[in-house]
Structure 1
Amino acid sequence: MAGLCTGRVAAVTGAGRGLGRAHALALAAEGARVVVNDLGVGPDGTGGGASGPAQRVVDEIRASGGEAAAHTGDIATTAGASSLVTTALEAFGRLDTLVNNAGFLRDRMLVNLGEDDWDAVLRVHLKGHFLPLKHAAAHWRSEMKAGRAPEARVVNTGSGAGLLGSVGQGNYSAAKAGVIGLTLVAAAELGRYGVQVNAVAPAARTRMTEWTFAEAMTAPADGFDAMAPDNVSPLVVWLGSAECTGVTGRVFEAEAGRITVMEGWRPGPTADRGARWTPAQAGEAARELLARAEPPRPVYGATAP
């Protein structure tokens, strides 16, 4: 297959269904050889051990004339993340692009959110981004030291919940905010090794979001399904290609036919007294600054005041 990613090898985590599957198929359609990772768990992370989802996507890619290999390891473990890189190297001789996508939900309001559900979601989303990134980066650093400068790309998966917060998703929002912070640090640290790191905050209908987008379960009459995961994948493919040279440390929202560059925390109104404030003075200054500041966007699911 000839295309934007011809000659590249990509690994996609959580690629058995939903967004990950769409990304894997789109990368393959543009010529990439793809390592399809999926643990085969349910929407809440339970179960697992089934090779079916990953292998089915591999079969789809091969049926379309592409090349792919399945990986069913747990990428939130050192062994699983390391073997993801090893699978790419053993199957295809190289690794050029890592798409971190794996995740699940265990939604609860904060007062009902158990410690186990907090830990599980932070583990798969945040640790499950960190470990594959760490092991892929170690490989690319070795390549650079050996004189083989990579054109490596990492695409992390954020969320609007991580940018704005989402009621009932304290664990998920915290994890996705962490993914954005990790993306910024990785972009700064890994550029010297030829690695570009970006994040995409997608909105699409998947097993994780089927209740959120229940009203959009049926494609409209014009044939454009605005909530299809496939709408997000073109941006992911481009960010995973050599064509996006010079783009790193950025966060994009992708939904339907819209792409938005997200602009994060920036200094707003400031007051400097040149000396220590009293609590009353600090409060008065804070109120004056807030009156001049842009109001925050509402948290997803928040009740209007």
Structure 2
Amino acid sequence: MSGIADGRIVVVTGAGRGIGRAHALAFAAEGARVVVNDLGAGIDGSGGSAGPAQDVVDEIEALGGKAVANTDDIASWDGAAALVRTAVETFGGLDVLVNNAGFLRDRMLVNLGEDEWDAVIRVHLKGHFAPTRHAAEYWRAEAKAGRTRVARVINTSSGAGLLGSVGQGNYAAAKSGILGLTLVAATEFARYGVTVNAIAPAARTRMTEVAFADDMAAPDDGFDAMAPENVSPLVVWLGSEESSAVTGRVFEVDGGRVSIAQGWRHGAVRDKGSRWSPGELGPVVAELLADAPVPEPVYGTALT
């Protein structure tokens, strides 16, 4: 097995099922050695099993690739450190970290419990930060030792993180936070030869099939636009040495479509040159709104 990722050492979190599994298989098909991380938990994060991660390893090895299973909790400090060590001790290094693990605990904000908020923020946002932090420590040490690696981080956000999603305030906040983390990491890690990008994918997975069952059914024939495997080619390319000029970007990807999402940008300005009084600001805000584009609708709202 050889290709665009030949010889690369790749960690994929949440790789036992869905999009993560597709990433692991796609990297292996292109010649990478893969650490398949998965707790084997339920869609709400409960329970756990080594089975899903090992199943993907078995698939990769059956196709002639190299992989190892890892079941560490990537949202724990020690678990994230152990994950990075697994790559280094098993395959001799680390080139690519794909942060993908997550689960859902959906509820309208007025009904959302503290534990439901904390759990989702932990697995998505801390579950991106902790592995990234330990991977970056390794890459910094390699660079200081004169062994700078052509390293990559690919984070996983969501349309909910870009635009919000009704009934998913915890998930949307975490996924939006991942975008901010991506921008900062891309800037800070550049000195070590590391690029950091994010994707906002759409595909049929355990996390989407309940909410969007009618829209995401596989077709009887032809191109399956919602297959998780459609997302992975971009991730593999971003993890390759070819992507060195791309960092701090967010890509929306689904089916056969790839686009760059446009983030917050400075807009129109009215400058008085001194402090405004509250009574003056009504017309000023009205002018600013008139000059601004209409916001994209939040997912789950009715379009009119």
When the two structures are superposed, what TM-score results if normalisation uses the length of structure 2? 0.98
Query: Which amino acid in 1 is paired with 2:200?
Result: A
Match of 1:19 in 2: 19
Match of 1:223 in 2: 222
Q: Distance in 2 between matches of 1:226 and 1:213?
A: 14
Q: Distance in 2 between matches of 1:217 and 1:156?
A: 23
| Cα distance change, pair 304–218 in 1 and its aligned pair in 2 (3 A) | closer
Match of 2:204 in 1: 205
SS in 2 for 1:208: helix
RMSD (CA atoms): 0.9
Q: Distance in 2 between matches of 1:26 and 1:255?
A: 16
Q: Distance in 1 between matches of 2:104 and 2:220?
A: 31
Query: Which amino acid in 1 is paired with 2:226?
Result: M
Identity in percent: 69
Query: Which amino acid in 2 is paired with 1:129?
Result: H
Residue 221 of structure 1 and its aligned partner are, at CA, apart by 4.3
Q: Distance in 2 between matches of 1:218 and 1:75?
A: 31
Q: Distance in 2 between matches of 1:40 and 1:160?
A: 25
Alignment length (residue pairs): 304
Query: Which amino acid in 1 is paired with 2:132?
Result: L
Match of 1:9 in 2: 9
Query: Which amino acid in 1 is paired with 2:181?
Result: L
Match of 2:55 in 1: 56
Query: Which amino acid in 2 is paired with 1:100?
Result: N
Query: Which amino acid in 2 is paired with 1:259?
Result: V
Query: Which amino acid in 1 is paired with 2:37?
Result: N
Match of 1:137 in 2: 136
Match of 2:69 in 1: 70
Match of 2:251 in 1: 252
Residue 213 of structure 1 and its aligned partner are, at CA, apart by 2.8
Q: Distance in 2 between matches of 1:69 and 1:222?
A: 34
Structure 2, unmatched stretches of 5+, are none
Residue 303 of structure 1 and its aligned partner are, at CA, apart by 3.0
Superposed CA deviations along residues 104-149 of structure 1, whole A, max 9, x for unmatched, are 0000000000000000000000000000000000000000000001
Match of 1:29 in 2: 29
Match of 2:105 in 1: 106
Residue 222 of structure 1 and its aligned partner are, at CA, apart by 4.1
Match of 1:41 in 2: 41
When the two structures are superposed, what TM-score results if normalisation uses the length of structure 1? 0.98
Superposed CA deviations along residues 160-219 of structure 1, whole A, max 9, x for unmatched, are 100100000000000000000000000000000010000000000100000233124543
SS in 2 for 1:214: coil
Q: Distance in 1 between matches of 2:14 and 2:197?
A: 18
Match of 2:266 in 1: 267
Q: Distance in 2 between matches of 1:214 and 1:85?
A: 36
Residue 89 of structure 1 and its aligned partner are, at CA, apart by 0.9
Superposed CA deviations along residues 238-294 of structure 1, whole A, max 9, x for unmatched, are 001111011000000001110010111111211111111111212220111101210
Match of 1:93 in 2: 92
